[in-house]
Structure 1
Amino acid sequence: MRDDTTIIGADLLEWYDVHARDLPWRISPAARAAGVRPDPYRVWLSEIMLQQTTVAAVKDYFARFTARWPDVAALAAAPDAEVMGEWAGLGYYARARNLLKCARAVVAEHGGHFPEDHDALLCLPGVGPYTAAAISAIAFDQPEVVMDGNVERVMSRLFDIHTPLPAAKPELKARAGELTPTQRPGDHAQAVMDLGATICTPKSPACGICPLRDPCAARRAGTAPELPKKTPKKPKPIRHGYLYIGQRTDGALLLETRPDKGLLGGMLGFPGSDWSEAPQPAPPAPADWQPLGGEVRHTFTHFHLVLTVFHSELPMDTRPAHGHFVDKHAFRPSDLPTVMRKAFNLWRGT
């Protein structure tokens, strides 16, 4: 393999200048060459949304967020419930809670401007090494190494690295660092990600049209399709739970805001039991609770969830042990996280 990382980087940027993806949060190579600077707010927001989520899924959410809250100050001033409602469906709800904490920290501690210093970025809520590197490189054109799944795949194939993930991460990052230039590091970071997303794909990589096909060690060895190797995952456990959908005679629904910490933290949902192997029934109020036909199934990062859903009509004088009634005209199913919306749809028969 050629050792001239400068040539490899130049080939990659030449390809990126022609084939860069058109993404709503991105400044094109041509615009950047003309002096247009990326908005750190949009870079940060997109990177938080893209964690564990696809570009296709994020585009509409990003458009709604930036239309409603066009800058970090507007987002910092937004009510928590409205932001959590807009986030519903994206999953990994701790990201939404940290989104608000970070926006408010940027306003309170940095005058509404994201800090350019990498270490200062790392001090912001919800900003870890990957996000800090992405903001530094893409927004501020600093030579930080940005490592996502696409970059890991490109590096593992370019250097024919067979150490399984996650153990291979330090070596892959070191290799990516060798290629990161001091000129146009933001474009370089996005170029590697685009290469992995469009050419060096997980299955059937298009090696014939890859700008790095000549120096790619895995292509020459015929091992590209099998890389990167991964340590086998353990089967996910199954947890169970009970959920209660109560509707008052005036149409109001019994809902609760979940605790800030934990799964679906801060989100609106229906009262229910714990989620475990053997949950205990936990009706929120005395009533004739009847099971709905069918179950709600949902998969989280670390487990599968099966919910048994009960429903009941509640009298006007009901005083629930936990939760609160929401007027039927004020309730929006879109404010519910996906698992709760599945339960709502089951109840409504949709």
Structure 2
Amino acid sequence: MPWRVSPSERDAGHRPDPFRVWLSEVMLQQTTVAAATGHFLRFLARWPDVHALARAPREAVLAEWAGLGYYARARNLHACANVVSRDLDGRFPETEKELRALPGIGAYTAAAIAAIAFDRPATVVDGNVERVMARLFAEAAPLPGVKPQLRAHAERLTPQSRAGDYAQAVMDLGATICTPRNPACGLCPWRTPCAARASGTQLDLPARAPKPAKPVRRGVAYVAHDPRGRVLTVTRPDDGLLGGMRALPSSDWTEAGGSAPPLAIDWRPVGEVRHTFTHFHLVLKVMAAKARALPADCGEAMAPDAALRAMPSVFAKALRLALEDLQRTGSD
């Protein structure tokens, strides 16, 4: 992983860069390593340190984040970079308490930065660590209620030295050996003390409380294009879902959906797209139309390729659907 410093590199005098540790940990929240790696490398190529990231326009940071989801992370990332660059001379604090005072850094991220970047004896608990602890100690109570017990186990095992190596090792153990469906118990260094393995319950742990069904919301996305092929885009309000992101004009997302379109032109339906957020499913009807002009007071006209790169997945899906329909039908 490009953000890691191995034990042998540490022995040679290399130390983790707190900027890289912070960036990787923010990206890895709710995101797989495979999905985060490319974004991480592109971020570093454009903004190699916290000062460069702080100087970047927020819209550029949000656009580069497109595809990772959970876009509040990108807004907080930029806000945090500004604080560290402006107020802390580019130096990240070393303690969990100080780190948690920064925008977007919660308990997990603060512990990860403190342990991995500064070798502080901080307890890092993510989903992988929870699974390892639940099996190691055969905690049968379901998540999320059992989280305090799992954290207590993790705290007791956290060493006073090489806490960063330990934290990464336990997370890797959960990600590669103590996996959810097919744990490789025979390869596990903790196979002997593992209570779940001894009782044959490892596949049942951690238990999870039933989740309520997600509601379905509906909305309309509008794709207006001008004779030059540019499409109308808007910036979503900061205080809502996908706040600050480049988007297509759309209705509110409610159970019924629907609202007045942004322009009084001849709209036609081209299909619908579906997208799942953390707390609901979205069905978005896509309407398309050609306009003689795209008024500046309605948004910004962008080339489709640039718009696709800047938009979160749900709006990129809608725009692709409209562009495919236009190419297929040749409609004006």
Partner Cα separation in structure 1 for residue 302 and residue 187 of structure 2: 58
Which residue number corresponds to residue 328 of structure 2? none
Q: 1:326 aligns with which of 280, 287, 301?
A: 301
Which residue number corresponds to residue 341 of structure 1? 316
Which residue number corresponds to residue 147 of structure 1? 125
Q: 1:99 aligns with which of 60, 65, 77?
A: 77
Normalising by structure 1, we get a TM-score of 0.90
Q: 1:167 aligns with which of 97, 122, 145?
A: 145
2:135 paired with 1:157 = yes
1:182 CA displacement: 0.5
Which residue number corresponds to residue 301 of structure 1? 278
Query: Does the 8 Å contact 2:233/2:307 carry over to 1?
Result: no
Unaligned segments of structure 1, at least 5 residues: 1-22
Partner Cα separation in structure 1 for residue 211 and residue 93 of structure 2: 38
1:34 CA displacement: 2.6
- SS in structure 2 opposite 1:242? strand
1:261 CA displacement: 1.6
Partner Cα separation in structure 1 for residue 111 and residue 20 of structure 2: 15
Which residue number corresponds to residue 259 of structure 1? 237
Partner Cα separation in structure 1 for residue 12 and residue 203 of structure 2: 38
Unaligned segments of structure 2, at least 5 residues: 326-332
Tell me: higher relative CO, structure 1 or 2? Use CA pairs within 8 A at least 6 residues apart. Answer: 1
Equivalent position amino acid for 1:295 in 2: E
- 1:66-96 Cα deviation digits (max 9, x unpaired): 1111111110000111111110000000000
- SS in structure 2 opposite 1:295? strand
Query: Does the 8 Å contact 1:272/1:282 carry over to 2?
Result: no
Normalising by structure 2, we get a TM-score of 0.95
Aligned residues: CA RMSD: 1.4
1:108 CA displacement: 1.4
Query: Does the 8 Å contact 1:143/1:182 carry over to 2?
Result: yes
- 1:187-226 Cα deviation digits (max 9, x unpaired): 0100100100111000111111110111111111111111
Partner Cα separation in structure 1 for residue 306 and residue 184 of structure 2: 48
Partner Cα separation in structure 1 for residue 172 and residue 304 of structure 2: 44
Query: Does the 8 Å contact 2:233/2:302 carry over to 1?
Result: no
For 1:276-287, what aligned pairs fall within 5 Å after superposition? 276-287=254-265
Equivalent position amino acid for 1:313 in 2: K
Query: Does the 8 Å contact 1:242/1:282 carry over to 2?
Result: no
Partner Cα separation in structure 1 for residue 11 and residue 145 of structure 2: 38
Query: Does the 8 Å contact 1:239/1:275 carry over to 2?
Result: yes
Equivalent position amino acid for 1:252 in 2: R
Instruction: Please say which of residues 257-266 and 27-36 is displaced more in the overlay.
Output: 27-36
Which residue number corresponds to residue 31 of structure 1? 9
For 1:47-62, what aligned pairs fall within 5 Å after superposition? 47-62=25-40
Instruction: Please say which of residues 70-79 and 272-281 is displaced more in the overlay.
Output: 272-281
2:77 paired with 1:77 = no
1:109 CA displacement: 1.5
Identity %: 58
Equivalent position amino acid for 1:345 in 2: R
- 1:287-334 Cα deviation digits (max 9, x unpaired): 111111x21100101000001111111123x547x6323243883411
